[in-house]
C-alpha cells in the first residue's frame, strides 16, 4: 500500500514538472503561399497562410523574402485570433537586389510556447523597358468592436511609392546594352568561326596537293635513278666498243705488216 502511494506521488510530481515543459516545447504547423508563381517588373506580391492550431492571443508572422542577391524584404503579418490566418503584401522591383531568378519566402511564427516555420518560392523576371514608379496596394484590416448598439469595421488602403526606380531603370538599361553587345559579339565570333573553318578547308586542300606533288616527285626521282643506270650501261657498252675497235686496228696492222714482209721475201726470191 505504501509502495502504491509512493508511485502515485512520483507520477503526480513528474506530471506537474514535465507538463508545462511539454506544452512550452510544442510546435504548430504553418502553410505559406504567394498569390502567383512568377512576377515581372514591379508587382504587388501577396503572401498568405495559416497557423494550426490557431493562436488565442495576438501574434505575428515574420515574413522574409530572399533572392539571388540576398534579402529584399522583411516584414510582419498579424495572425487572426481564432482562425490562424495571416496575409502580407510587398512590391517587387523596389531595389537593385531584385534580379531575375528564384526567390524564397520564409515565414516564422512563435507564441504561447508554440513555434512554426516554413518556406515557399516564386520566380521573378526584372523589367527591362522600365516600369511605373507608383504601385497601389490595398490591405483590408477588419477590427470588430462589439457594443450594445453596433459593430464597427475599418478598411485601410495603403499606396506604396517604389524606391530607387531611377537607379533600377539605369541598371536595367545597362544590362540591356550589355545583352545587345554580347549578341553582336556572338555574331562576330560566328563569322570568324566560319572564316576559320573555310581557311582550315583550304589548308587541308593545299596539304593534299603538296602530298600528291611529293608523290610525283618521288616517282620522277625513281625514273631519274633508272635513267642514271641506263647511262652507266651505255658508258660500259661504249667502252667495250672502243676496246673492240682498238683490237681490230691492231689485228689489221699486224696483217698488213705480215703481207709486206711476205711480199719482200717473194721479191727477193725472184731477183
From first to last of its 271 residues, the chain has per-residue pLDDT tens of 555 555 545 454 544 444 444 444 458 999 999 999 999 999 999 999 999 999 999 999 999 999 999 999 999 999 999 999 999 999 999 899 999 999 999 999 999 999 999 999 999 998 554 444 444 444 444 444 444 555 555 444 444 444 455 455 556 666 766 777 777 787 777 888 888 888 788 778 878 887 888 888 788 777 767 767 777 777 787 787 677 777 778 788 888 898 888 888 888 888 7
63: which residues sit within 8 A by CB, 6+ positions away? 47, 73, 74, 75, 76, 77, 88, 90, 105, 106, 107
- Rounded to the nearest 10°, the torsion over CA 254, 260, 264, 265 is 40
- Gyration radius (Cα) of the chain, Å: 56
Cα gap 266→271, rounded to integer Å: 9
Helix (H) or strand (E) holding 20: helix 2-24
Residue 106: Cβ within 10 Å count: 17
pTM of the complete model beyond 0.75 = no
Residue (of 17, 41, 34) closest to 89 by Cα position: 34
In this structure, are residues 102 and 62 in contact, taking their beta carbons and an 8 Å threshold? no
Kindly tell me the burial class for residue 257, based on how many C-beta atoms sit within 10 Å of its own C-beta (0-12, 13-18, 19 or more): exposed
The reply to whether CATH 3.10.129.10 applies to domain 26-163 is no
Where exactly are the structural domains of the chain?
26-163
Amino acid at each position: 500500500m505504501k509502495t502504491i502511494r509512493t508511485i502515485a506521488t512520483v507520477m503526480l510530481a513528474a506530471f506537474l514538472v514535465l507538463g508545462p515543459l511539454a506544452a512550452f516545447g510544442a510546435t504548430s504547423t504553418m502553410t505559406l503561399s504567394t498569390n502567383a508563381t512568377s512576377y515581372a517588373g514591379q508587382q504587388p506580391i501577396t503572401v498568405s497562410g495559416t497557423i494550426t492550431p490557431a493562436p488565442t492571443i495576438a501574434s505575428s508572422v515574420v515574413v522574409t523574402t530572399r533572392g539571388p542577391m540576398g534579402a529584399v524584404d522583411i516584414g510582419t503579418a498579424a495572425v487572426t485570433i481564432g482562425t490562424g490566418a495571416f496575409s502580407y503584401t510587398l512590391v517587387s522591383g523596389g531595389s537593385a537586389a531584385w534580379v531575375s531568378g528564384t526567390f524564397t519566402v520564409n515565414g516564422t511564427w512563435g507564441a504561447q510556447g508554440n513555434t512554426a516555420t516554413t518556406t515557399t518560392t516564386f520566380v521573378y523576371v526584372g523589367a527591362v523597358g522600365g516600369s511605373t514608379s507608383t504601385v497601389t496596394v490595398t490591405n483590408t484590416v477588419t477590427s470588430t468592436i462589439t457594443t450594445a448598439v453596433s459593430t464597427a469595421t475599418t478598411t485601410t488602403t495603403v499606396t506604396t511609392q517604389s524606391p530607387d526606380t531611377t537607379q533600377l531603370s539605369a541598371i536595367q538599361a545597362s544590362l540591356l546594352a550589355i545583352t545587345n553587345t554580347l549578341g553582336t559579339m556572338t555574331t562576330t565570333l560566328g563569322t570568324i568561326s566560319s572564316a576559320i573553318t573555310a581557311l582550315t578547308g583550304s589548308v587541308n586542300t593545299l596539304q593534299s596537293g603538296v602530298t600528291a606533288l611529293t608523290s610525283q616527285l618521288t616517282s620522277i626521282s625513281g625514273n631519274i635513278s633508272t635513267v642514271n643506270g641506263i647511262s652507266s650501261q651505255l658508258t660500259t657498252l661504249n667502252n667495250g666498243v672502243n676496246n673492240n675497235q682498238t683490237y681490230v686496228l691492231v689485228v689489221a696492222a699486224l696483217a698488213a705488216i705480215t703481207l709486206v714482209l711476205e711480199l719482200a721475201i717473194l721479191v727477193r726470191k725472184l731477183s
